[in-house]
Amino acid sequence: MIQIYTTPSCASCRKAKKWFDQYNIPYSEKNIFSIKLSKEDIFKMLANSENGFEDIISTRSKIFKEKQLDPDAMSVQSLVDFIIEYPSVLKRPIILNENELQVGYNNEDITIFLPKELRKSEAFSAFDKEKE
């Protein structure tokens, strides 16, 4: 199942949900401001990331400056706890399934979440359009 971590005011989150709806791809949404994140949520994100915390948090977030914290100097556990307490430090949307992670919305990259049969037809239709 695809999980999308969102916030209400995030335009990219709305685009991602609209894209999944357009292709009738089921997903579960978790509003990070109304549903408390768990350590499991964060470790799932990290398991699918290429660069660990760097992929999922915004180090330019106001809260890091206010608290005078350097994420690079924090232990994994303290950074996980910090994210749970201050979920606004997460980039959005965060979209993941068992194998893939996408942070933010990108028209091309999001196609990794298309089912194989749809991916083939999407590639084929894109190829047909180029021929015209």
At 113 the three-state DSSP class reads helix
**Closest CA relative to residue 67, chosen from 54, 53, 86:** 86
Distance CA 79, CA 90 (A): 11
The DSSP 8-state label assigned to residue 60 in this structure reads T
The DSSP 8-state label assigned to residue 92 in this structure reads S
Catalytic residue among 10, 42, 83, 95: 10
- Tell the residue number behind the tokens 């997903």, with chain if given: 27
In the residue annotation, 10 being an active-site residue is answered as yes
Give helix then strand counts, H and E, for the chain: 6, 4
The catalytic residue positions are: 10
